[in-house]
Amino acid sequence: MVSVGCANAPIAVGIEGLTRFYSVLCGVRGRFLSSVSVPEVHAWKVTQWHFGRDSKNSIAGADFALSFHDWFGNLCRVYSRHDGHVRLERVENPNVRFQKLLDGHVSHHQREGVERG
Q: What tens digit of pLDDT does each residue of 61-75 get?
A: 899 999 999 898 889
Q: How many CB atoms are closer than 10 A to CB 101?
A: 19
pLDDT recorded at residue 68: 95
Return averaged pLDDT per consecutive 10 residues of the chain, 117 residues in all.
72 79 88 85 88 88 93 92 90 87 58 40
Which residues does residue 68 pair with via DSSP β-bridges, in sequence order?
76
22/42 Cα distance (integer angstroms): 8
The answer to whether the pTM exceeds 0.75 is: no
Helix then strand then coil, % of the chain, to nearest 5: 35, 25, 40
73/66 Cα distance (integer angstroms): 16
The residue extents of the domains of the chain are 11-42+97-117, 48-93
pLDDT recorded at residue 3: 75
